[in-house]
């Protein structure tokens, strides 16, 4: 039956990997396939084989026996691989209705190498699948080595896709945080089979566009370095599902999103929708979300297309472990921030004490920290009157400094300024008397004297008390003596 898709059950799918990676790589939990139709959405996930703890040596074959009827529609294959050394991002592959005996090869750019314990001699990328019909009832997929990859550290992907099921109307923002100096190319595609209320996002805001119910976020086609990680987080809302539930994806999206939807019973009031272009979350919001989250793994599929119970239990335990680790890291970060803020406050206290000692004043520093007692410091005993006027208060996170000494210095500075201005004004009056005494009758001299004197006074008194205003007034007085010098 060449040229037609076989009817009935799909007996097995066979994957081969001719690349020898070494003992540092293990398949955990294995290969996953999404078999379905683009018109009706994904049907379900099929776990090919779980080879947890088994070294990844090639070639390797994975066999699947599961009931599946292609019927008359196109097939969609989403392969993802999870290993400690390789991270995968999903990518759609559409099989034609008439597959026949021909081979179908496409670039699978969803695989990339993450940080590994030691450097490898072979830095090639697993970036191609070859699908072809082996027999009437069998499809076989071969994972091949791409020989066209550029040498490390530039091995990476050109364009990745992340599956997030969604609705047709979206509001909010979705961002991607790339843990690498270089910005990758990434496209986020959201199919139209599940409504998502909220997806927590992080860091830089991307450009968003709506197209037939798909939210696409593109960063351009660029290559990723070897150790690059993409963290998707942010806020997406739909008006229709705004009051129903909240779905959160705070993790690195290296597994199918349709299988790892986290349902939260009570939405965090501190994490809400914000307009696009603004930051979506903060570290404190993130911590509250991790403390209040109820990790119940649901599937973004209808009841009749639900995944097997074993698969749900496996993903449930997987996400519980990841949430526990993430929460512990967030608590450690908060403790580090608290200790660093305490040390900063102590350093500020020391600087203010040194300032008080230099001024020769007795100071009492009262530092009010959250959960810490007040501390009193004393310097020398020259001025007991100022003992209660020097205070540093720390109510929560805002620091207010109230020092009476600073007010006294400000008053002294104002007095000095006005005394200087008075002296300059007297100097101007003296210049006027000199002009009158020497009988300056020339109209040009009088006009020049008046203009320079007025400009100098205005400059010094109102603009800036510096040498320019004084020079103008001195020049006006010198101008008054010019007729006498000429005689």
What confidence score (pLDDT) does residue 209 get? 37
What confidence score (pLDDT) does residue 287 get? 41
What confidence score (pLDDT) does residue 420 get? 66
Q: Model pTM greater than 0.75?
A: no
- pLDDT range class, residue 301, cuts 50, 70, 90: very low
Contact at 8 Å (CB) between 247 and 264?
A: yes
Residue matched to tokens 């009437």? 136
Contact at 8 Å (CB) between 481 and 434?
A: yes
Other C-beta atoms closer than 10 Å to the C-beta of 396 total: 8
| Residue 266 in this model has a pLDDT that exceeds 60 | no
Q: Which range, 31-35, 234-238, 309-313, has the best average confidence (pLDDT)?
A: 309-313
| Alpha-carbon torsion angle 341, 346, 348, 352, nearest 10 | 160
Q: Which residues contact 347 (CB under 8 A, 6 or more apart)?
A: none
Contact at 8 Å (CB) between 96 and 73?
A: no
Element (H, E) at 477: helix 467-480
Element (H, E) at 351: helix 309-358
How many residues can be counted in the chain? 487
- pLDDT range class, residue 337, cuts 50, 70, 90: low
Residue matched to tokens 């945080």? 177
Helix (H, G, I), strand (E, B) or coil at 33: strand
Q: Which range, 157-171, 241-255, 464-478, has the best average confidence (pLDDT)?
A: 464-478
Q: pLDDT per residue over 153-181, tens digit each?
A: 222 222 223 333 333 333 333 333 333 33
What confidence score (pLDDT) does residue 255 get? 26
Q: Which range, 212-216, 254-258, 477-481, has the best average confidence (pLDDT)?
A: 477-481
CA distance 270 to 406: 40
Contact at 8 Å (CB) between 271 and 201?
A: no
Tokens of 70: 């292609």
| Residue 457 in this model has a pLDDT that exceeds 60 | yes
Q: What end-to-end distance do the CA atoms of the chain give, in Å?
A: 126
CA distance 369 to 258: 46
Beta-strand relationship, 214-218 and 230-237: unpaired
What confidence score (pLDDT) does residue 347 get? 66
- pLDDT range class, residue 357, cuts 50, 70, 90: low
Q: pLDDT per residue over 392-440, tens digit each?
A: 333 333 333 334 444 444 555 555 666 666 666 666 666 666 655 555 5
**Lowest model confidence (mean pLDDT) among 30-39, 246-255, 287-296:** 246-255
Residue matched to tokens 């001299």? 445
Q: Which range, 70-74, 194-198, 349-353, 383-387, has the best average confidence (pLDDT)?
A: 349-353
- pLDDT range class, residue 203, cuts 50, 70, 90: very low
Residue matched to tokens 């690059």? 228
**Lowest model confidence (mean pLDDT) among 224-238, 357-371, 447-461:** 224-238
| Boundaries of every domain in the chain | 13-146, 160-307, 336-405, 409-486
Sign of CA dihedral 276, 282, 285, 291: positive
Give me the chain's average pLDDT, please: 41
Q: Which residues contact 248 (CB under 8 A, 6 or more apart)?
A: 198, 199, 200, 262, 264, 289, 293
Tokens of 279: 């930051």
């Amino acid at each position: 039956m060449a040229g037609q898709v076989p009817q009935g059950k799909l007996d097995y799918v066979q994957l081969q990997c001719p690349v020898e990676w070494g003992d540092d790589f293990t398949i955990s939990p294995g290969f996953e396939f999404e078999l379905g139709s683009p018109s009706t959405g994904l049907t379900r996930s099929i776990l090919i084989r779980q080879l947890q703890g088994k070294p990844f040596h090639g070639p390797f074959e994975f066999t699947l026996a599961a009931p599946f009827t292609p019927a008359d529609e196109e097939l969609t294959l989403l392969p993802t691989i999870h290993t400690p050394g390789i991270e995968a991002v999903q990518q759609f592959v559409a099989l034609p209705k008439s597959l026949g005996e021909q081979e179908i090869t496409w670039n699978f750019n969803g695989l990339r190498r993450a940080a590994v314990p030691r450097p490898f001699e072979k830095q090639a990328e697993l970036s191609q699948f070859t699908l072809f019909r082996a027999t009437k009832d069998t499809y076989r997929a071969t994972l091949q080595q791409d020989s066209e990859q550029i040498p490390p550290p530039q091995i990476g992907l050109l364009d990745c896709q992340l599956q997030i099921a969604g609705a047709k109307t979206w509001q909010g923002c979705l961002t991607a945080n790339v843990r690498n100096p270089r910005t990758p190319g990434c496209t986020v595609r959201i199919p139209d089979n599940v409504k998502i209320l909220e997806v927590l996002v992080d860091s830089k805001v991307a450009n968003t566009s709506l197209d037939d119910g798909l939210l696409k976020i593109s960063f351009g086609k660029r290559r990723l370095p070897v150790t690059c990680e993409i963290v998707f987080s942010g806020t997406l809302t739909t008006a229709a599902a705004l009051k129903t539930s909240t779905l959160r994806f705070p993790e690195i999206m290296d597994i199918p999103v349709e299988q790892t939807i986290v349902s939260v019973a009570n939405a965090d009031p501190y994490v809400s929708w914000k307009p696009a272009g603004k930051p979506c979350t903060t570290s404190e919001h993130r911590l509250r979300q991790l403390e209040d989250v109820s990790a119940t793994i649901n599937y973004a599929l209808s009841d009749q297309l639900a995944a097997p119970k074993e698969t749900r239990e496996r993903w449930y335990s997987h996400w519980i472990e990841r949430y526990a680790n993430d929460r512990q890291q967030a608590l450690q970060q908060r403790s580090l921030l608290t200790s660093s803020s305490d040390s900063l406050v102590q350093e500020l206290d020391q600087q203010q004490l040194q300032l008080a000692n230099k001024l020769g004043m007795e100071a009492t520093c009262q530092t009010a920290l959250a959960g810490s007692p007040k501390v009193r410091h004393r310097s020398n005993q020259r001025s007991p009157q100022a003992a209660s006027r020097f205070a540093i208060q720390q109510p929560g996170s805002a620091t207010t400094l109230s020092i009476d000494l600073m007010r006294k210095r400000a008053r002294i500075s104002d007095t000095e300024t006005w005394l200087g201005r008075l002296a300059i004004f007297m100097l101007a009056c003296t210049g006027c008397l000199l002009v009158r005494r020497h009988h300056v009758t020339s109209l040009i001299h009088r006009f020049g004297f008046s203009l320079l004197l007025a400009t100098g006074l205005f400059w010094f008194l109102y603009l800036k008390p510096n040498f320019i205003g004084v020079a103008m007034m001195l020049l006006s007085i010198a101008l008054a003596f010019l007729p006498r010098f000429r005689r």
